[in-house]
Amino acid sequence: MAVIGKSGSGKSTLLNMMAAIDHPTSGEVWVNGSALHRFSEGQAAVWRGRNLGLVFQFFQLLPTLTAIENVMLPMDFCDLYTDSECEQRAQYLLRLVGLERRVKKLPAHSRRRATTRRYRPRTGQRSAAASG
């Protein structure tokens, strides 16, 4: 999915609402049968980890973590995999974007590709890419 529009038209607000990052001041936000406007921060984080993928304009990677650690982090938050499954899945996802030799590093030119894998949902569906 791509969201396109003029500056100030509400693209980031829409995506933040659909990802349960922001909450509406009025009304409701429903995505795939989930009432996002009712979620706590913890519930929203788990929902995001299991249901969608976002690539943020500024990557949202932790600079003190390696590429593999950044990819594994959301899997750990969602508690979907064992530690060994997390590492195996992270290695597989990094291989998909050609970063298998850089798992212990995070060079600047690899940040967007690593972010794409970090936000890939468990279901194996394509990630939604967005820049705001």
Could you tell me how many helices (H) and strands (E) the chain has, helices first? 5, 2
Residue 34 phi, psi (nearest 5): -100, 130
Please tell me which of 4-8, 48-52, 64-68, 127-131 the model is most confident about, judged by mean pLDDT: 4-8
Residue 122 burial class via C-beta count within 10 angstroms: exposed 0-12, middle 13-18, buried 19 and up? middle
Is the distance from CB of 78 to CB of 46 less than 8 angstroms? yes
Structure-model confidence comparison of residues 13 and 116, the more confident one: 13
Q: What is the DSSP letter of 27?
A: S
Token pair listed for 43: 């519930």
Q: What is the pLDDT of residues 26-72, one digit of tens each?
A: 999 999 999 999 999 989 988 888 888 777 666 677 777 888 888 88
pTM more than 0.75: no
**Could you give the CA distance from residue 111 to residue 126 in angstroms, rounded to a whole number?**
19
Q: What is the pLDDT of residues 70-114, one digit of tens each?
A: 888 888 877 778 989 999 999 998 898 888 887 887 646 455 666
